Amino acid sequence: MIRFNATLAIFFVCLGGCVTAKPIPFPRELIDQGPINSAVELQALQTRTFDADKVALLSAIVTVLQNEGHQINQTDFDIGTINATTREDTRSVRLSSDFLATAFGDSKDSPFFKLVVPSEYVVTLTSQRVISILVTEFSPTKSKVRLSMTVRAKLPGKVVLPHEDIDTNPDRYQELFSKIQQALFLKRNLE
């Protein structure tokens, strides 16, 4: 098995020098982003109103992001913005022979493809989320949060284009909004 993997690796290195593959789009199914929504549905997914003033809400959001291990890149309490980045996540993913055939512009039924390419190929997927938050105060006791998450992902090599798109997974947004609500509750009741 090790000899086969080494032979396969050498073959792809040699093939890379002879053939220039066109970059192909990132396989969206590798990222758990959720369904693609309309602009109105996306705005509803990303927006929540809280019973708190702007500064208290921003403070709670910063606390939640730090507790989650996110890196806060920028804050502006006057405008009401926060930009943060999640930790880089790496995991192994299996690329099917259908995907590999598309990547190398060949038919998976060709004798060459069957001889050289395994039925599955495991690679490391690297992903990260960028979080942008805008807090708008309606009154001294009510504020609205618009939270947008962008997914950035890449596979090794240059055959597959890097991926960057809005995260539309409702569970991820709901989880963050719930944690913000809990942080506000604790702040109000412990002070």
**Domains of the chain, residue spans:** 45-190
Q: What is the pLDDT of residue 24?
A: 73
Q: What's the pLDDT at 83?
A: 97
Average pLDDT over residues 28-34: 72
The token pair at 161 is 């284009």
pLDDT at 30: 73
Res. 31: pLDDT tops 60: yes
Contacts of 126 (CB under 8 A, 6+ apart): 88, 89, 90, 153, 154, 155
Distance CA 103, CA 79 (A): 45
Q: pLDDT-based confidence at 191, cuts 50/70/90?
A: low
pLDDT of residue 137: 93
The architecture CATH gives domain 45-190: 2-Layer Sandwich (3.30)
pTM for the model: 0.74
User: Which one of 92-101, 138-147, 159-168 scores highest in mean pLDDT?
Assistant: 138-147
Mean pLDDT value of segment 68-90: 93
Confidence check: pLDDT of 14 > 60: no
pLDDT, tens digit, 9 for 90 and up, residues 114-163? 555 555 677 888 889 999 999 999 998 999 999 999 999 888 877 778 88
For β-strands 89-96 and 120-139, DSSP reports them as antiparallel
Judge contact between 54 and 143, C-beta under 8 A: yes
**How many CA atoms does the CB half-sphere of 113 hold within 13 Å?**
17
Instruction: Report the 10 Å Cβ neighbour count for 129.
Output: 19
Closest CA to 71 of 88, 57, 86: 86
∠ CA 42-135-129 to the nearest 5 degrees?
A: 55
Rounded distance, CA 65 to CA 183, Å? Answer: 11
Write out the E strands in 26-160. Answer: 47-50, 71-76, 81-85, 89-96, 120-139, 142-154
Can you give the pLDDT at residue 4? 45
102-112 confidence digits (pLDDT tens): 666 655 555 55
> 34, exposed or middle or buried, with CB in 10 Å at 0-12, 13-18, 19+?
middle
| Closest to 135 in 3D by CA, of 67, 46, 68 | 46
Per-residue pLDDT band for 176 (boundaries 50, 70, 90) equals very high
pLDDT for 11 equals: 47
